[in-house]
Amino acid sequence: MKEQGFVIYPGKVSNADCFRIGNIGDVYPADIERLIGAVKNAMYWELA
């Protein structure tokens, strides 16, 4: 994610692993689309 211009922080919600997304400044629809693309590129699936 960092290589794509985003920084995420680990978080914990009940028993689920998660991450937090925040922003500083104005956010536009194109920013969200770029974020979604970055998340998709960074996703991995853990096989049980």
pLDDT of res. 44: 66
Q: What mean pLDDT, rounded, does the chain reach? A: 79
3-state class (DSSP) for residue 38: helix
What's the CATH class of domain 2-42? alpha beta
Report the percent of the chain where pLDDT is more than 70.
Answer: 81
- Say whether pLDDT at 45 is over 70: no
- Say whether pLDDT at 46 is over 60: no
- Say whether pLDDT at 48 is over 60: no
Domain boundaries, the chain: 2-42
- Per-residue pLDDT of 12-32, as tens digits, reads 677 777 777 778 889 999 999
Q: How far from 21 is each of 8, 18, 37, 47, CA to CA, in Å?
A: 6, 10, 14, 25
Query: Which burial class, exposed, middle or buried, applies to 6 when counting CB atoms under 10 A from its CB (0-12, 13-18, 19+)?
Result: middle
